[in-house]
Amino acid sequence: MRRPRLIHAGILLTSAGLTSLATAVLGPSLPKMQEHFAASPGAAYLVPLSLTLPMLVMAILSVFAGLAADRYGRKRLLVTATAVYALCGTAPLWLQTLQGILVSRLLLGVAEACLMTVSTTLIGDYFAGAQRAKLMSLHTTVAAVSAFLLNIVGGILGDQGWRTPYWVYAISLPLALLMAHYLWEPAPGTEPGALRAHADAVSFRLPQLLGICAITIGVGFAFLTVPVHLAYLFNEIGVASSARIGIAFALNSIGAIAGTLLFGWIVAARMRRVASQLALATAVLGASFLGMSAATTYWGLTLAAAGNGVGAGLILPTVVTWNMRELPFSHRGIGVGAFQSSLFFGMFLNPILIVSLSKLSGTRAASMSLLGLALLLASLIALLRGIPAPRFRRGSAPDRPNGSSRRPSR
């Protein structure tokens, strides 16, 4: 019986940071890329699309990647996807047409869907209980730290030319070699005792998975709001300095890191009920969005954005851990894939709906207010669901309004 060690956790967690490469490393160089392809038809739309196309592909294909992991095995699919990720990620270094780059980005999205889904599934296969909860929180922590550091790296590499940042994708090649050497293909009945006992006790419930996925769409929507719209909110209050706005983004990332650590080491251990965890996370998120909508100064908006990061860092590992807890081994891949598809679909919807709300309400700040109120309502519903029902001793019944009682029939 094989037992996971630190090296296995490190490999699987590192894969989480790979999805941060697109927005963090490539974002700063997009204007130079657009200038290079200025003569290409539709470049104004197609260059930004090169950044978001993998996310759309992940939303569509993650559930199928999970199905393939359940049917054909985890390790081979993960290693292959990571190698393809390196090949397609670095392809723009030598591709000469914008259309060719878009095709490479589409294939990159296919590899990312497999990579993210299977690596998360393996965390569920290898670990259980509090250890799994901590790793799920660290999964988000690694992604947030990676985004924070890669924003700096992307700016530095972008100064060397718009193609240079694509070299960063090559780091996944040695990661694929480490996966091939250290990881193993799990099989039902081979898990450590606690994990095997839990797997035997869980049965697959499709309605439960669909409910979690519906909530996850909302989580993805809320999670991407600050990364996409914070700069516009600063413009609305008269702040245009990219350096000052960059500091606010950095504090938001630090808040997300703090939120994930708070979940893994405090919330998961002290709040056992998922509804209570959701109530806390949505309350923090809702309050932060209301704070962002009301802010009229730089530091007011910056602090509200940092609080939003804490809420985002709380809510994502909450739903990830909840979903994983409800999946048996035989359906864990497709369950994680459905979760990933829902998360990225929510992210994809965010710009469309927020811009529509902004046009109806007049400003982005007003749309933040509506989002904050919706989240506080969700927090109240979750809080009421999280209150334990009263328990009565066997053979007794609750008092009736008129003070009468009835003995249970024997």
pLDDT for 87-143, tens place per residue? 999 999 999 999 999 999 999 999 999 998 999 889 888 888 778 878 877 877 887
Residues 241 and 298 both lie in one domain? yes
Q: Is the pTM of this model over 0.85?
A: no
Quick check: 162 and 29 in contact, CB under 8 A? Answer: yes
Residue 71 lies in a domain: yes
Report residue 104 CA to chain centroid gap. 23
Residues 247 and 373 both lie in one domain? yes
Residue 303 lies in a domain: yes
Q: Label residue 188 by pLDDT band (50, 70, 90).
A: low
Residue 348 lies in a domain: yes
Residues 225 and 112 both lie in one domain? no
- Structural domain total, the chain: 2
Residue 179 lies in a domain: yes
Residues 166 and 274 both lie in one domain? no
pLDDT for 307-348, tens place per residue? 999 999 999 989 988 988 888 877 888 888 899 899 988 888
Residues 264 and 325 both lie in one domain? yes
pLDDT for 149-180, tens place per residue? 776 676 677 778 888 888 989 989 999 999 99
CATH of residue 97's domain is: 1.20.1250.20
Higher pLDDT, 324 or 402: 324
Residues 182 and 78 both lie in one domain? yes
Residues 96 and 177 both lie in one domain? yes
CB atoms closer than 10 angstroms to residue 41: 10
Q: How far apart are CA 276 and CA 260, in angstroms?
A: 16
Residues 239 and 301 both lie in one domain? yes
Residues 260 and 308 both lie in one domain? yes
Mean pLDDT of the chain: 83
Q: How far apart are CA 140 and CA 258, in angstroms?
A: 10
Q: Which residue has the tokens 């250290």?
A: 182
pLDDT greater than 50 at residue 394:
no
In percent, the amount of the chain with pLDDT more than 70 equals: 87
pLDDT greater than 50 at residue 287:
yes
CB atoms closer than 10 angstroms to residue 77: 21
Quick check: 356 and 74 in contact, CB under 8 A? Answer: no
Stretch (H or E) spanning 182? helix 172-182
User: Which residue segment(s) compose the domain that 55 sits in?
Assistant: 1-129+160-196
Quick check: 222 and 345 in contact, CB under 8 A? Answer: no
Residues 212 and 175 both lie in one domain? no
* Eight-state DSSP code of residue 409: P
pLDDT greater than 80 at residue 270:
yes
pLDDT greater than 50 at residue 406:
no
Q: Label residue 374 by pLDDT band (50, 70, 90).
A: very high
Quick check: 62 and 340 in contact, CB under 8 A? Answer: yes
* Eight-state DSSP code of residue 24: I
Higher pLDDT, 199 or 256: 256
Residue 292 lies in a domain: yes
Q: What is the pLDDT of residue 400?
A: 42
pLDDT greater than 70 at residue 403:
no
Residues 165 and 32 both lie in one domain? yes
Q: What is the pLDDT of residue 296?
A: 94
pLDDT for 38-77, tens place per residue? 888 888 778 877 877 888 898 899 999 999 998 888 999 9
Residue 233 lies in a domain: yes
The identity of residue 192, as a single letter, is P
Residues 83 and 230 both lie in one domain? no
Arithmetic mean of pLDDT, 230-246: 84
Task: Please state whether 365 falls in left (phi above 0), alpha (psi between -120 and 50) or beta.
Answer: alpha
Residue 239 lies in a domain: yes
Q: How far apart are CA 11 and CA 7, in angstroms?
A: 6
Residue 150 lies in a domain: no
Q: Label residue 305 by pLDDT band (50, 70, 90).
A: very high
pLDDT for 27-41, tens place per residue? 667 778 888 998 888
